[in-house]
Chain A
Amino acid sequence: MTRTGIEYLRAKDQDSAVALVAEDPDAAFLAGGTTELDLALKDRVVHPSRFVDIGRLPLRGVTRDGDRLRVAALTTMEELAADPTVRARLPLVREALLLGASTQLRNMATIGGNLLQRTRCRYFRDPDVAACNKREPGSGCAAIEGVARMHAILGAGPSCIALHASDLCVPLVALDAVVELLDADGPRRVPLTDFYLTPGDRPDVETVLRHGELLTHVEIPLLPAGTRSAYIKVRDRTSYEFGLTTAGAAVQVDDGTITMARVGLGGVGTVPWRSWEAERVLVGSPANERTFAAAAQAAIRDPFTVPGTEFKVELAKRTIVRILRTVTS
């Protein structure tokens, strides 16, 4: 499919933004554009008829409401990382943001766009590759038998192994963040852990977001005082690379026993991965290497691997052990 022109419209307000996308099945929101413009103009794997630019809507900034932080969708990654409450109370969110992309990108990229970024799978992003179930349902998956180092091992299956590569989402799923959505039927709230869909037999459907629905805010509960948290990103290159495996964790330890634990994993899941399994092992257990190893074991259960991703099973476990050691030491 080729289109020689894309209509560009700038939304006046939230409602008209929603209406302008809803009325055209091929229209798309445009926020910072760092994902969408690549896909549409460089890689040419998405073919929007219309961009509805939401970049100037007044959906920017961070407000605190008691022990919850409300982040408007157009806040940039750099802005959220610089927020004083994030600095003080959510160090894992700040670290995840600052280990992502590059400063230039983080100054353009929005939080809403980060949550909705598309996979980096190079088979998805090259229109000359025919077999991609995410792009063309039923066409197959070239990555499964191809070069799949940057792919997922959890939530993956024979239809698709594409990674959700966001760093930010890893702490956000661990922290029980909630997204606020808006469309013509009004607003709704969805926990981030329910927002993403594993591929199943519909890898093209990635979230519960409806066409034309605008992500307006992300609500992040703050961590209780005395919680220790951190984020770690393991990669070949020191900066400016997506993670091979990442982990974010927040724990409270009382007298050597873990009393609260939140674990999110990146680099491994088709969706940002919340590891309730690891948390179950951790809570009530002594904060020691044995516990960490057991948690890691529980977290990486039944991985779906291909030759290129096999190493991630071990690496992810070690990453989990490292982050747990870091936040409990």
Chain B
Amino acid sequence: MTTTLTKQSLLGRPIDRIDGRRKVAGAAPYPSDFDLPGQAHAALVSSTIANGRITRIDRSAAEAAPGVLLVLTRDNAPAVADPPMSNLGSTMRWYFRDDRILHYGQHIGIVVAGTRAQAQAAARLVEVEYAAEEPVLDLDDPRATIEENPYGLDSSRGDAAAALDAADVTVDSTYTIGAEINSPMGLFTTVASWQGGRLVVHDTTQFPSMVRASLAAMFGVPERDVRVLIPFLGGGFGAGLRLWSHTVLTTMAARELDRPVKLVLTRPQMFSSTGHRAASRQRMRLGATQDGRLVAIDHDAVAANGIGDMLPAPIEMGTPMAYACDNVATHERRAHLNIAFTGFMRAPGSVELHFALESALDELAGKLGIDPVELRLRNYAEVHPESGKPWSSKALRECLTVGADRFGWSGRDPSPRSTRDGDLLVGQGMAEASFDFYAQPCTVRLSVDRGGNALVRTGATDIGTGTYTITAQLTADLLGIEVDQVRVELGDTDLPPAPQSGGSGLAGALGAAVKDAAAALGERLARLDGRPGETIASLLDRHGLDELSATGHSDLPAAAATTDLAVAGPFAATFAEVGVDEELGVVRVRRLVSVIDGGRLYNEKTARSQIIGGTVMGIGAALLEEAAYDPHTGRVANGTFGDYLMAVNADVPDLDITFVGGPDAFNPVGTKGLGEIGIVAVAPAIANAVHHATGRRIRDLPITLDKLL
């Protein structure tokens, strides 16, 4: 235990999660595990139409039902202010603002009773009358309100139209993706209690500081009087990055009753209450020379959005930086439909873009007769294609070459339908991905005590991915102590402010802040005249100090604005082999290799788990996942885990995952976020493999068996 950094680095080691034992033992409290003394239970009343107005609500039967304490609808709900814009560029449209129904499953009331069963039974007794209109559910519906260039990200370099005209070879294809639901295991929960003027909320969120700011503004209390707690979170995949109305309704009910209120969403409610990946359609036009140099990319995208909503999940954002190509144009539109509000679902926009771009590149490779890996290498963006700046790190070339090697790509016969195994057609496909990340300023407080133990505190959350573990690991590494000497406190807005866990930005921002804190602490320790080799414990002891603390801060967005580097996110290449039973249309993934450039890894094990999780989700996106909207009512017709299909173990082959690349030159720790990159290239790799197997190009996800019959 020394103050110097000479020990063998702990960083990157595949240590087990430090919270693993608590989780396995059921001792890690998730939001739904919290029960407060005197707590009442809530259930939601949801709309059964998707478009129209509420003409009458009759609460009386529900109010008279056994155990019922309160029924709140917009008729008797107190007014609240509109929530502020979050730094992710979204806000919540407060449903009770008017009598409009914007989507099926919209929350129109909350019933609170002594037990959950009583509340749920009474919720069914609230009588609602509507003036219903036909819902607008389709991207092509002429009644849909369309916003052009909603993000101001439409871009143009060179002259894509002219270059397409002049190109030797072109591809012009349209790709569609159905709506997908985030579907974390943990049902979203709010437990709200007002203590005097102070609000304490246990809430399922990936972004506690946003929930705090929103509730403070809506209920007119200072932020310091709102505390949001979320020590453990049962997954989110982005669902926890927005404020949702159930959180507000539960908080409101708790205030009206002056007693704690708990609400746990049902699984069907999760399909219309906590966001999703919007359905989208993209037209991708590529132009290339005979020898496979891209001369034009023209990308046109339209995605769905809720009515009156404005979620920024642009598809076009990554297009200009994907390849070295002089002429690139992007256009995006947003179609407002009577669907539940969308959200940020794992690699929002990037999953959509890469399915289209990487499928189109595969089509181009076929037309040119150039190997798909080789085609990508020929168009490799050595520097950032827009700014011309050198990347802070980019090992995408290694992703491609190492991946091809591990997969055995060179032995592949390029012609479709060339390989059989019994009844099966076998195909191999690949795709690459470049990912951007989204970081925000982060503050941590780091303390060391006389026992030589460290405490790190910050208001971030661990969504189950290992934030506790990597924070402890980095701290131990920087202080030269053991991991089990570090305690990490997260998930509490009374702790120093931290950004959302989402956008693949937390690990980098938090790590940079920890490093800053450790440096500050080091300086303070240095001022105590440490003797060579002296431990922190003895140093503090000698000076009669119980503990020593320092605050660390990072502001990656500010740093990014001034760096000479093109700040890179992670990169990936995925290679997939599928078997297709052509007679029955069934596709199964037989092998999958992913190679990832995630910069410097904190922990090889949690990093790998992130990629495994993303890959499994990518298999689901490729072959299974789609929310089916009833065409007349807009109700999600498959809103259960029995009906909405996600990949299960049997759908997932052994996954071969490798990390390449070195420390990132921009991030102080050298790391890049890994939460999302794992999913991005999976669906196009699988779709390309299906084409290689069958000769059929499926441009519509998911690739269910009927599309191959």
Q: Could you list which residues of chain A lie within 8 angstroms of chain B, going by C-beta atoms?
A: 2-4, 44, 120, 122-123, 126-129, 142, 145-147, 149-150, 234-241, 244, 311, 314-315, 318-319, 321-322
For the complex of A and B, 3 pairs with smallest distance between CB atoms: A147-B637, A238-B650, A311-B706
- Indicate which residue in B584, B643, B704 contacts A122 across the interface (CB closer than 8 Å): B643
Known: A4-B117, A126-B268, A142-B630. A244 touches B705 (CB 8 A): yes
Query: Are A314 and B650 neighbours in the complex by a CB distance under 8 Å?
Result: no
Q: Which residues does chain B contribute within 8 Å of A319, judged by CB atoms?
A: 584
* Cβ–Cβ contact B705 & A315, under 8 A: yes
A237 CB to closest chain B CB (Å) equals 5
Q: How far is the CB of B706 from chain A (nearest CB, A)?
A: 4
Chain B interface main SS type: loop
Distance in Å: Cβ of B65 to nearest Cβ of chain A: 8
Known contacts A128-B635, A147-B628, A322-B584: A234-B651 contact under CB 8 Å: no
CA of A239 to CA of B642, assembled, Å = 11
B588: chain A residues within 8 A (beta carbon): 238
Q: Is the CB of B706 within 8 A of A238?
A: no
Interface residues of chain B, those whose CB is within 8 Å of chain A, are: 46, 48, 65-66, 117-118, 120-122, 124-125, 268, 583-586, 588, 623-624, 628-633, 635, 637-640, 642-643, 645, 647-651, 702, 704-706, 709
- Cβ contacts under 8 Å, B643 to chain A: 120, 122, 150
CA distance A150 to B704 in the complex (A): 13
Q: Is the CB of A147 within 8 A of B709?
A: no
Collect the chain A residues with CB atoms within 8 Å of residue B65's CB: 2, 4
A-B contacts, 9 of them at CB < 8 A, read: A120-B642, A122-B638, A129-B633, A145-B631, A236-B624, A239-B651, A315-B584, A315-B709, A322-B584
Q: Are A311 and B709 in contact (CB under 8 A)?
A: yes
Closest to B647 in A: A237
Q: Are B121 and A149 in contact (CB under 8 A)?
A: no
In the complex, are the beta carbons of B637 and A237 less than 8 A apart? no
Chain A residue nearest to B589 (CB atoms) is A238
Q: Which residue of A lies closest to B703 (CB)?
A: A236
Partner of B706, one of A150, A237, A315: A315
User: Whole-angstrom distance from the CB of B42 to the nearest CB of chain A?
Assistant: 17
Residues of A within 8 A of B649 (CB): 239
> A residues within 8 A CB of B633?
129, 142, 146
A residues within 8 A CB of B122? Answer: 2
Q: Which residues of B contact A145 (CB under 8 A)?
A: 631-632
Residues of A within 8 A of B120 (CB): 44
State in angstroms the CA–CA spacing of A321 and B423 once bound together. Answer: 13
Report chain A residues within 8 Å CB of B583.
318, 321-322
Least CB distance, B123 to chain A, in whole angstroms: 9
Q: Which of A44, A240, A315 contacts B124 (CB 8 A)?
A: A44
Q: A122-B638, A146-B637, A237-B650 are in contact. List 4 more A-B contacts (CB 8 A).
A: A122-B643, A238-B650, A239-B651, A240-B650
CA distance A318 to B66 in the complex (A): 55
Q: Which residues of B contact A244 (CB under 8 A)?
A: 705
B631 — which chain A residues lie within 8 A by C-beta?
Answer: 145-147
- CB neighbours (8 Å) of A235 from chain B are 586
Cβ–Cβ contact A238 & B651, under 8 A: yes
CA distance A310 to B377 in the complex (A): 44
Give the distance to chain B from A233, nearest Cβ to Cβ, in Å: 10
- The distance in angstroms between the C-alpha atoms of A146 and B636, with both chains bound, is 10
Task: Tell me if B648 and A129 are in contact (CB < 8 A).
Answer: no
> Is A239 touching B584 in the complex (CB atoms < 8 A)?
no
Q: Which residues of B contact A322 (CB under 8 A)?
A: 583-584
Contacting pair B709 A237 (CB below 8 A)? no
Given A4-B121, A236-B645, A318-B584, check contact A146 B650 (CB 8 Å): no
Residues on B with beta carbons closer than 8 Å to the beta carbon of A240: 648, 650
Complex Cα gap A129–B630 (Å): 11
How distant is the Cα of A145 from the Cα of B588 in the complex, in angstroms? 31
- Whole-angstrom CA separation of A44 from B266 in the bound complex: 13
A residues near B268, Cβ cutoff 8 Å: 126
A147 and B630 form a contact (CB under 8 A): yes
The reply to whether A122 and B640 form a contact with Cβ atoms under 8 Å apart is: yes
- Measured between beta carbons, the chain B residues less than 8 angstroms from A123 are 637
Docked Cα-Cα span, A241 to B642, in Å, equals 7
Q: How far is the CB of B525 from the nearest CB of chain A, in Å? A: 55
Cβ contacts under 8 Å, B125 to chain A: 2
Q: How far apart are the CA atoms of A120 and B643 in the complex, in Å?
A: 9
A238 and B648 within 8 A (CB): yes
For A234, what are the chain B residues with a Cβ–Cβ distance below 8 Å? Answer: 584, 586, 705
Nearest A residue (CB) for B637: A147
Taking CB as reference atom, which chain A residue is nearest B586? Answer: A234
